[in-house]
A = this chain, B = another copy of it.
Amino acid sequence: METFTLKKIGVIRTPYAEAVAAPVQGRFEPEASGTVEVFDEFAPGLQDIEGFSHITLLYYFHQAAGEELVVKPYLDDVRHGVFATRHPRRPNHLGMTNVRLLERRGNVLAVAGVDMLDGTPLLDVKPYVPAFDRERGSVRCGWLTGKLPSTT
């Protein structure tokens, strides 16, 4: 099987030491603040990021215990294929969250809307660009329909 070696380029600091304390998604606790510490050797890559109000964090679910292909997500009592969920126990343990970028202080980004555990390894930062990322028009959400808090 073909594999790829990815490296930890920084660490995400959040208020959540344990999974039971973290929101299901960052959007559910939009004011939850944290920091993204990009290691010095990668800090030049942050140039001009302060122009963006939102960024996408890609990270590694380091506390996920193993991988499962069919899971019971937090928002349902029924099991679904893991690729139809955002469950952490997924092949490759990749996590993705859009957060608000509040401020850049050197190689540290202050952000809001975090949902990951404290100490989560950072793999990538991308600017959130509505023209690329925001779907317009109708979007179907399968099993999630009707299961989301009304505040979202």
Name A's B-contacting residues (CB within 8 A): 1-9, 25-27, 38, 42, 44-56, 58, 60, 69-70, 80-86, 90-94, 96, 98, 121, 123-135, 138-145, 148, 152
Contact = CB atoms under 8 A, between A and B. Distances in A.
Contacts of A27: 131-132
Query: How many copies of this kind of chain does the complex include?
Result: 2
A4 B9 contact: no
A131 B59 CA distance: 20
B25 A45 contact: no
Contacts of A38: 83
A144 B128 contact: no
A100 B23 CA distance: 27
A90 B126 CA distance: 10
Nearest to A141: B129
Contacts of A1: 7-8
A131 to B, nearest CB: 4
A83 B121 contact: no
B142 A52 contact: yes
Contact of A126 (B51, B96, B124): B96
A52 B96 contact: no
The 9 lowest CB-CB distance pairs between A and B, nearest first, are A51-B142, A47-B81, A131-B152, A53-B140, A83-B125, A45-B69, A44-B69, A2-B8, A48-B84
